[in-house]
Amino acid sequence: MNQTIYTCLKQLRSQADITQAELAKKVHTSRQTICAMEKGDYIPSLKLALLIANVFKRPIEDVFHLGQKKC
């Protein structure tokens, strides 16, 4: 069973007025990694996903979704 992982990262960043570079710095990754996640080209590790969710003070399920787009 191969399901796609969707992300609301771009919408959350926009709402919080945070650039890709700013988010990358907060979670100790590159801007290119954030960009790739937003495009669906990169699936983050659990640790990175949790760090990102923590930045937005949201449950991980509000940031990443399995199998269906919810943003």
Q: Where are the chain's structural domains?
A: 5-66
Q: What is the pLDDT of residue 32?
A: 98
Per-10-residue mean pLDDT for the chain, 71 residues long? 82 97 98 95 95 97 85 82
Q: What is the pLDDT of residue 61?
A: 92
Q: What is the pLDDT of residue 2?
A: 58
| CA atoms within 13 Å, Cβ hemisphere of 59 | 3
pTM strictly above 0.75: yes
Look up tokens 């960043």; give the residue.
13
Q: What is the pLDDT of residue 1?
A: 54
Q: What is the pLDDT of residue 5?
A: 86
Nearest to 11 by CA among 52, 41, 47: 52
Tokens of 18: 């945070």
CATH class of the domain defined by 5-66:
mainly alpha
End-to-end CA distance of the chain: 23
